[in-house]
Amino acid sequence: MQRSWHGTGVALITPFKKDFSIDFVALGNMVEHIVSNGLEHLVALGTTSEAATLNEQEREAVVREILRANAGRVPVVLGMGGNNTHLLLQQIKHQDFTGISAILSVVPYYNKPQQAGLIAHFEAVADASPVPVILYNVPSRTSTNMKAETVLRLAAHKNIVAVKEASGDLMQIMQIIKNKPAGFEVISGDDALTFPMLAVGAKGVISVVANAFPKEFGDLVRHQLTGQGASAFDLHYRLLDFINLLFADGSPAGIKCALHHMGLCGDTLRLPLVNVNHSIEASIKAAVDQITQLK
């Protein structure tokens, strides 16, 4: 069973047609674009996929298409989280995990649970899941920060194998890395901080920008992990302005703008998300063109 989450994973977007239906052809092409450029794993139904706007049948269809297009070439991680623990456990119970290597489970949002509640929630998820669990800490979206001591407590669970850290707090992240047990990994959940996180001991990333530039961002991570820090440094600063633009007017609006400009998919989003404003759109397109010219 897949246990190592080194390298670059991609938080896949869900392409939509202009009528807001799922563009399965574009989704399959996105998987090919990413996998053929050598990235290490795919994440289905993460935040970037607009999973909150997909119904149950659509979510199942998206996963089927990702698995079909991937054809077993790289591990696939499935986003499974929520703020109703009982319901989430039922969803895990009834989920078909064929072809799924792990689940990515976000800190429960809106409820604002205590740290003890987070421990109880994730231990229940890990006990129920037939595949390894990757924790996802993103307080900018959930309103609750999972503290380092909470992550370390959960890291002792045999079925919790990693944390995707998007708190933006390098001190917290270093505390986890310093004290984590062997076999538990820290993964960047913030493209802009991936290079410094790798420098202090993180082992990979689940990336948004790699939807557009899988080779460049994958090389950044591989170079840093293999001691080629100067090359990683150069790629980090080559991509940094583009990364910041992707989140300047909401995600995944930014990455869909870039992918549309690259001809990989449309830029349609489902409400309540809307497209980036015209100023950001122009800047994203210019940044894409600049990176492409430097290839």
Which residues on adjacent β-strands are paired with residue 136?
Answer: 106, 164
In the chain, % of residues over pLDDT 70: 98
Which of 164, 180, 203, 256 is catalytic? The answer is 164
Instruction: Report the relative pairing of strands 185-188 and 204-207 from DSSP bridges.
Output: parallel
pLDDT tens figures, 224-252? 999 999 999 999 999 999 999 999 999 99
Whole-number Cα distances in Å, 248 to 44, 45, 242, 244, 289: 23, 22, 10, 6, 18
- Pull the structure tokens for residue 100: 């799924």
Is pLDDT of 202 > 60? yes
Q: Omega into 252 within 30° of 0, i.e. cis?
A: yes
Segment 30-39 mean pLDDT: 97
Task: Find the range with the poorest average confidence among 3-7, 67-71, 144-148, 213-217.
Answer: 3-7
Rounded CA separation 201/213 (Å): 23
Q: What CATH architecture does domain 7-229 belong to?
A: Alpha-Beta Barrel (3.20)
Rounded CA separation 229/220 (Å): 9
Which of 17, 93, 112, 136 is catalytic? The answer is 136
Give yes or no: 164 in active site: yes
Is pLDDT of 1 > 90? no
pLDDT class of 2 with cuts at 50, 70, 90: very low
pTM, rounded to two decimals: 0.96
Q: For the chain, which residues make up each domain, given as ranges?
A: 7-229
Segment 22-40 mean pLDDT: 97
